[in-house]
Amino acid sequence: MRDTPRPQRLRVGIDTRIIWLVSLIPLITLCGRGMMGELTANPIEYISKFTGWWTLFSLLLTLGVTPARYFFSMPILFPLRRTFGLITFVYATIHFLTWLVLDQFFDWTEIALDLSERPFIYIGFVAFLGLCILALTSTNRAKVVLGSVRWRRMHKSVYLIAILGVTHFYILVKSDVWEPLTFGAVLFLLLGYRLFLRLLNNRR
């Protein structure tokens, strides 16, 4: 029997595996810099800042999916929301572990004091717990179990998490607030867009 060419599968979606591969680039860059000894004299601080930056960046990308999807009328963008969300969770986890393992090295007394005394730490911690819950309930199965309405309501908390995340960054920096303010401005636009749509819908 001769091999018949397989009918090509029609791709209507974006292959999220490509997105996952791309999302590894910052991480690979970080490892590369580590091996080249380019993480400054204080590598732990560098890793912490780096992974925190990329967490916020992917979080804003996640929130950008829905506006972009309507703006460009591209429904195929839709699944990217979950992909970017999970990438955010991965970077947030590395960021959290940097604090727990590299920075504090399981010094539980210091960790407890850090959580109770330092607003930016507990704000970041709450945001991370929120991301954990959203990541755990990100599967299709979870959506079925929870029911669509409840699931959506629950995942709306990503807006609050984003506000906490940017606040965490803002109060951490000493005086050069340019970067956190930029993140804040983008977040403001992304949330403002949704608020605007909502007001528009209510008026109709």
Q: Write out the residues near another protein by the rule CB under 8 A.
A: 31, 34-45, 47, 102, 105, 107, 110, 113-114, 117-120, 171-172, 174-176, 178
Q: Shortest approach of another protein to residue 123 CB, angstroms? A: 12
Per the structure block, which two tokens stand in for 92?
């947030």
- Which candidate, 104, 111, 122, places its Cα nearest to that of 171? 122
CA distance 180 to 199: 28
Of the pair 70, 105, the CB lying nearest another protein is at 105
Distance, CA of 105 to CA of 51 (rounded, Å): 18
| Least distance from another protein to the Cβ atom of residue 49, Å | 10
From the CB of 35, what's the least distance to another protein, in Å? 6
Minimum Å gap between C-beta 189 and another protein is: 24
- Residue 43 or 67: which CB sits closer to another protein? 43
By beta-carbon proximity to another protein, the closer residue of 19 and 27 is: 27
Q: Which amino acid, residue 59?
A: L
**Least CB distance from residue 159 to another protein, whole Å?**
26
CB nearer another protein, residue 6 or residue 106 = 106
Residue 164 · residue 184 · CB < 8 Å: no
| Residue 12 DSSP SS3 | coil
Query: Which C-beta is closer to another protein: that of 3 or that of 176?
Result: 176
Place of tokens 């929870």: 146
3-state helix, strand, coil in the chain (%, to 5): 80, 0, 20
